[in-house]
Amino acid sequence: MSTQSVPSILFTHRSPQHGFRLLELPPDLAELLASDNPPTLELKSLTQSSATAPTTTPTPEYVNLCTPTKTYSIRQVQSSNSLHILTPSTGGAVRKHDLSVVGEAEEQEDVDMDRNLNVEGTVTSIAKCGSTLELHTPSEGFSATEFLSAVVKVYGEGAEIDDAGKWEGDVDMQSDENGNTAWILDGLFADIPVSKAQCERGWEEMCGFVLPPRAGEALASAVSSYCWHPSAAKKLEVWKRIAEGSVLQGIDLGKQFLVRDLWKSVLDDDGNEPFPMPLFKAVVGRIRGSGDGVIGDLKWASIDKDGCVRWVGETYLEATAPGASSAISEGELLDAWRDQLPESWRDNVSLSILPETCYMHPEPKSICFATEADRQKVKKNLPTDTSAATAAKKTRNWHELFKNQKRQKR
Amino acid sequence: MPSIPLHPRPSAPRDETHNPLPDLLQTPSGLALLELQGTINFPIQDASQPEDGPSIALDPDARSAIYETPIGKLMFPDYSAHAAPDDNRWMKRAYLYVGRYQRMTGEVKKLPKPLAIIQRCPKQLGPDDASEELEVVEIVKYKLIFKNRPEPVNDA
């Protein structure tokens, strides 16, 4: 078949070229972007300032792509093929005598170019990409806790601000009205390379709280100086006050109660605050039942019994036996754990409700808290050859695909 | 820069230039993808790789001027604009003439995963604003791929 009779499209190369990047979209992200009202995505990386401690090993440079709720790690994949990005062109920027390269239009410059070349239009290459960006979600997911605890100061290890305890909050819980807390949190989360929803979850998990500057004080530029998370011992202390206060005031933690009433029950006899109210709210937020509204808006709450019992056990273990050297016996843990709880919740205590990753048995009958580093170790021992092979098949990365075969030959 | 926003829609208005490509390859912005085994060499490109933003041409005359260099012709021999839209047999064959005497055979393929074309947002007024913003210009679902060697053809 003679193809010369078929109308064709003139293909040109435009100079100067344009800067583009190609990003491969997983199905869920493609769907999100194609929706009627797609959210603005964010590219987040760990900043220098958040990797403060000079002693830590240099963190690898990376960028994560975040939707409001999800996080993907970005990997640049080189291709031996070149990908050209085409755009329609009027052909006006083509020099007439250059066309001799593609056809015999040279001698008849006055004749209409399109008809003579039998072309019905022009497309031009405006960019060339040698690589694409692929998105990945590691199987263990992303956790903001690790990043947050690196930036946020620990409350309760002698590092309190000098006026801790004197913090003047509004007992009526209206302190958020000026929006400072929300603003500070937004600033804090902007530096954490995971999505905002995951940041919020991590923040709630670690009982993070904000001590905003008092009215009239200017905001410091480093928002992390207002952000705290309590030590395990501090968390336990807060819980103790809550448990005692609720008994004294006859508040049933399992049912809906006014958070304000609980806060009043926690105060000293002369009305002094034993700890800042934002910390109190953070702890209540951590142990309350789901469906009680968002963090900032804690008016009514009820405590999720099972979750709270688990949390108290975990926190107690972290506070008293943070490592293998300080391990305690299982019986000791169970007894102390029960003592932390209201009378009617005591029967719920059992080792089996603790999340498996949170503790270790250095010896058969003793138990201690598993730190983040210990958990990482356990995780690394886990992956089996089969899972690695299937993962390699999915990524079209032939290094990973053949890695296992090489190993077997040896 | 801790957080760089990536806007899901392009800020620039759509290009209204007539798009000669088959409907399937046409996108709202007009952008399309062509994959080639090998490269197309241009003398200017070697000097200044235009990774980000426009390159500065070496030729002083060409500075700030846009020009296009013809490479060849694209052809979809089995394509007809009047065929049923679900008839995709034409996708199996596409030609790319390079110059007059060489031809590559390729095809139109659906991408396994759609690709987002991303660029820096065109700077708004206020050049002192150093913040960087990105935008998705287009999401493409198909590509033209030429993975075979060029074969010699007769011009006539």
ipTM: 0.82
Q: Which residues pair with B73 in a beta bridge?
A: A10, B97
Identify the burial level of A200 via C-beta atoms within 10 angstroms of its C-beta, where 0-12 means exposed, 13-18 middle and 19 or more buried: middle
User: Looking at residues A287-313, what average pLDDT do you find?
Assistant: 75
What is the pLDDT at residue A108? Answer: 44
Same domain, A173 and A254: yes
Cβ of A19 and B114 within 8 Å? Answer: no
For residue A311, being part of any structural domain is answered with no
| Dist. CA A126–CA B15, nearest whole Å | 14
Neighbours of A388 (CB within 10 A): 13
Say yes or no: A61 and A152 in one domain: no
Chain centre distance of CA A66 = 8
For residue B45, the model assigns a pLDDT of 46
Tens-digit pLDDT profile for residues A189-223? 888 888 988 898 888 888 888 887 766 666 666 77
Measured between CB atoms, does B122 come within 8 Å of chain A?
Answer: no
Instruction: Tell me how far apart the alpha carbons of residues A186 and B2 are, in angstroms, rounded to a whole number.
Output: 12
Angle, helices A305-320 vs A232-249, to 10°: value is: 140
Structural domain contains residue A261 = yes
pLDDT band at B106 (very low <50, low <70, confident <90, very high): very high
Give the largest Cα separation in chain B, rounded: 59
Residues A93 and A192 in one domain: no
CB contact B104 to A (< 8 Å): no
Pairing of strands A300-301, A257-258: antiparallel
Q: Domain boundary residue among A303, A328, A359?
A: A303
Question: Rounded to 5 degrees, what angle do the CA atoms A202, A203, A206 make?
Answer: 85
pLDDT in tens, A91-114: 777 777 777 777 654 444 444 444
Looking at A76-221, list the stretches that DSSP marks H as alpha helix, in order from N- to C-terminal side. Answer: 113-117, 145-151, 180-190, 196-205
Output the pLDDT for position A32: 92
Q: A83 to chain B: which residues are within 8 Å by CB?
A: 33-36, 143
A170 and A282 belong to one structural domain: yes
Torsion angle, CA of A72/B109/B143/B81, rounded to 10 degrees? -140
Q: Mapping DSSP to helix (H, G, I), strand (E, B) and coil, where does residue B116 land?
A: strand
Q: What's the CA gap between A123 and A121, in Å, rounded? A: 7
With respect to residue A169, please indicate whether it lies within any of the assigned structural domains.
yes
**Per the domain annotation, does A341 fall within a domain?**
no
Report, as an integer, the average pLDDT of A36-55.
69
Distance, CA of A127 to CA of B49 (rounded, Å): 11
Rounded average pLDDT over A27-52: 80
- Residues A149, A128 within the same domain: no
Q: What's the pLDDT band for A72 if we cut at 50, 70, 90?
A: very high
**Are residues A14 and A84 located together in one domain of the fold?**
yes
Mutate to test the interface with A, among B21, B37, B66, B73 (most CBs of A within 10 A): B73
Is the same domain home to A165 and A298?
Answer: yes
A10 and A86 co-located in one domain = yes
Task: Give the DSSP H/E element, type plus range, for residue B120.
Answer: strand B102-120
DSSP-derived letter for residue A101 is: G
Closest CA–CA distance from residue B65 to any residue of chain A (Å): 8
Question: What's the confidence (pLDDT) of residue A388?
Answer: 52
Share of chain A above pLDDT 70, in %: 72
Structure confidence at residue B140 (pLDDT): 93
Instruction: Kindly state whether residues A180 and A298 are assigned to the same domain.
Output: yes
Residues A26 and A120 in one domain: yes
Nearest-neighbour CA in chain A from B3: distance (Å): 5
Confidence band for A407, pLDDT divided at 50, 70 and 90: low
The verdict on residue A150 lying in a domain is yes
> Is A126 a domain residue?
yes
> Residue A400's domain spans which residues?
383-409
Output the furthest CA–CA distance in chain A (Å, rounded): 103
Domain boundary among the residues A303, A320, A345 is at A303
A250's torsion region: left (phi>0), alpha (psi -120 to 50) or beta? Answer: left
Confidence at residue A394, expressed as pLDDT on a 0 to 100 scale: 59
Residues A173 and A193 occupy one common structural domain = yes
Element (H, E) at A262: helix A259-266
Structure tokens at A168: 């003047």
Average pLDDT of span B40-54: 52
Residues from chain A contacting residue B99 (CB–CB below 8 Å): 101-102
Residues A297, A157 share a domain: yes
Averaged pLDDT, A369-398: 60
Q: Helix (H, G, I), strand (E, B), or coil: what is residue A110?
A: coil
- pTM of the predicted structure, to 2 decimals: 0.73
Q: What is the pLDDT of residues A113-140, one digit of tens each?
A: 444 567 788 899 999 888 999 998 887 7
Contact at CB, B73 and A102, closer than 8 angstroms: yes
In a domain, A338, yes or no: no
Measure in Å the smallest separation between the Cα of A70 and chain B Cα atoms: 14
Contact B73 A88 (CB under 8 A): no
Distance from the Cα of B132 to chain A's closest Cα (Å) equals: 11
For position A392, what pLDDT does the model report?
53
Whether A309 is in a domain gets the answer: no
Among residues A120, A136, A152, the one where a domain terminates is: A136
Domain count, chain A: 3
pLDDT of residue A121: 86
| B117 contacts in chain A (CB < 8 Å) | 20-23, 85
Given a cut of 90, whether residue A22 has pLDDT beyond it is yes
Is B148's Cβ below 8 Å from some Cβ in A? Answer: no
Q: Which residues of A touch B34 (CB under 8 A)?
A: 83-86, 125
By Cβ distance, the residue of B15, B75, B120 closest to A8 is B75
Contact B92/B77 with Cβ under 8 angstroms? no
